[in-house]
């Protein structure tokens, strides 16, 4: 595996605000990473640091195993961290040509990148006639002009209508399928779930989870139980069961979080043998949404 970017104990304080708190993770080539966290959790600050537009307070980051200076490394990065300024009275093609000139890169990729973002048919339309979604797609095309190793996007679907959101997500997936590594920041769980292979969940600048999106969903599940009498004794028995990680209560329902595989039948038999007759027993998997809320709320 080839490491594109490595963050080690990265820290950023804005006065009393600890925006990024001892954050470490690696980005491997070919994957699609989401930095997922509620608003104000430090996503944009993290992206700003690795793109050299925000100064870190402490910690390290290194691009491409530290083989290049940050300045050289950033030539292999395509990033959109704020809405770029295009000229309203220039066409899509003219705007991209200007960016090529400013960046000192060839204009030969313009048509290809317009096709990638489904704007080739509109290449001769003025920027001012574009919808917000089209403007965002043009921004993505502009970030791809130098065939970057990694594309970095901050909240790529913010403010778009459902159709625009869908188009952007399809385009991100297409770019990833062509082998470009992607790092995107989002406060939307379903965006990360739909688009990303890997996720770093942060809250208040602190990493809560890093790993594959599908492993985040592969928890052992929960049991919901109810009993008419002896509830306290039942909770105590559950708490001491080796397959149960923790026991909480939600109104009348006891929720037992599992830490290993056990069937509802097994647990029912076990409890019955101990003299507990349940009035309700259901085994279910927590949704990714619930896990995200657990991660971001209970810390
Ligand atoms: P996110 O992108 O996850 O919404 P940010 O990185 O923008 O989070 O912000 C993280 C925290 O840092 C927030 O509390 C925010 O108010 C604070 N912050 C961000 N930029 C600045 C700044 N330039 N000056 C002071 N505080 C800032
Ligand atoms: Mg942000």
Closest protein CA for atom 22 of ligand 1 = 14
Q: What is the Cα–Cα distance from 298 to 14, expressed in whole angstroms? A: 25
CA angle 92/124/97 to nearest 5° reads: 40
Looking at the structure, tell me whether residues 128 and 36 fall in a common domain.
yes
Q: Is 17 in the pocket of ligand 1 (CB under 6 A)?
A: yes
Give Cβ neighbours of residue 292 (< 8 Å, ≥ 6 apart): 36, 189, 201
Instruction: Kindly report the average pLDDT of the chain as a whole number.
Output: 92
Supply the residue whose CA is at minimum distance from atom 12 of ligand 1. 19
Kindly give the number of the ligand 1 atom that is closest to the alpha carbon of 38. Answer: 3
- Which ligand sits nearest to residue 18's alpha carbon? 1
Span 16-26, average pLDDT: 97
Question: What domain range includes position 265?
Answer: 222-297
189: domain CATH number is 3.40.50.300
The stretch 74-86 carries a mean pLDDT of 90
For residues 199 and 83, the model is more confident at 199
Whether residue 210 is found in the same domain as residue 236: no
* Tens of pLDDT, residues 5-15: 999 999 999 99
pLDDT of 292 over the 80 cut: no
What's the rounded mean pLDDT across residues 116-122?
98
Same domain flag for 198 and 252: no
Percent of the chain clearing pLDDT 70 (strictly above): 94
In this predicted structure, which of 73-87, 126-140, 224-238 has the lowest mean pLDDT?
73-87
Report the separation in Å between the CA atom of 254 and the middle of ligand 2, taken as the mean of its atom positions: 37
Per-residue pLDDT for 285 more than 80?
no
Distance 98 CA to ligand 2 centre (A): 28
Atom 23, ligand 1: residue with shortest CA distance: 14
Residues 73 and 167 placed together within one structural domain of the fold: yes
Looking at the DSSP bridge assignments, the partners of residue 115 are none
Instruction: Place 261 in a pLDDT band, splitting at 50, 70 and 90.
Output: confident
32-36 and 181-186 beta bridge pairing = parallel
**With contact defined as beta carbons under 8 Å apart, do 211 and 47 qualify?**
no
d(CA 168, CA 141): 11
Residue 80 phi, psi dihedral angles, 5° rounding: -125, 105
The pLDDT score that the predictor gives to residue 240 is 94
- pLDDT at residue 99 greater than cutoff 90: yes
Pocket of ligand 1 contains residue 146 by CB under 6 Å: no
Residues 209, 261 within the same domain: no
Same domain, 83 and 113: yes
**pLDDT higher than threshold 70 for residue 218:** no
pLDDT band at 299 (very low <50, low <70, confident <90, very high): very low
Number of domains in the chain: 2
Torsion sign, CA atoms 91, 95, 101, 105: negative
Cβ of residue 198 lying under 6 Å from some atom of ligand 1 = no
244 shares a domain with 178: no
Q: Can you give the pLDDT at residue 239?
A: 94
CATH of the domain at 244: 3.30.70
Q: How confident is the model at residue 289 (pLDDT cuts 50, 70, 90)?
A: low
Question: 189, 215, 241 — which closes off a domain?
Answer: 215
Whether residues 124 and 245 share a domain: the answer is: no
CB of 34 closer than 6 angstroms to any ligand 1 atom: no
**Position 255 pLDDT exceeds 60:** yes
The response to whether residue 93 sits with its C-beta less than 6 Å from ligand 1 reads no
């Amino acid at each position: 595996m080839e490491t594109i970017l490595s963050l080690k104990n990265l820290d950023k304080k804005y006065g009393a605000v600890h925006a990024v708190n001892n954050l470490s993770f690696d980005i491997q080539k070919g994957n699609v990473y989401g930095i997922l966290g509620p608003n104000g959790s430090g996503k944009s600050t993290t992206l700003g640091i690795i793109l050299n537009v925000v100064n870190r307070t402490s910690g390290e980051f290194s691009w491409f195993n530290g083989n290049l200076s940050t300045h050289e490394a950033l030539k292999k990065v395509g990033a959109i961290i704020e809405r770029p300024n295009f000229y309203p009275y220039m066409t899509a093609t003219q705007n991209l040509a200007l960016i090529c000139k400013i960046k000192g890169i060839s204009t030969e990729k313009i048509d290809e990148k317009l096709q990638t973002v489904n704007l080739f048919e509109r290449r001769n339309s003025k920027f001012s006639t574009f919808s917000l979604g089209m403007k965002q797609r043009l921004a993505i095309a502009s970030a791809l002009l130098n065939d970057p190793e990694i594309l970095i996007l901050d909240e790529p679907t913010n403010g778009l209508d459902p159709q625009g959101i869908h188009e952007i997500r399809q385009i991100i997936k297409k770019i990833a399928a062509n082998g470009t590594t992607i790092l995107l920041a989002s406060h939307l769980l379903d965006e990360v779930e739909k688009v990303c292979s890997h996720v770093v969940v942060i809250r208040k600048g602190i990493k809560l989870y890093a790993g594959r999106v599908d492993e985040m969903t592969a928890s052992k599940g929960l049991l919901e139980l109810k009993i008419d009498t002896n509830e306290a004794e039942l909770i105590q028995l559950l708490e001491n069961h080796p397959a149960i990680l923790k026991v909480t209560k939600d109104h009348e329902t006891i929720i037992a979080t599992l830490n290993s595989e056990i069937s509802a039948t097994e647990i029912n038999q076990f409890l019955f043998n101990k003299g507990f007759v349940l009035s309700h027993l259901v085994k279910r998997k927590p949704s990714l949404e619930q896990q995200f809320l657990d991660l971001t709320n209970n810390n």
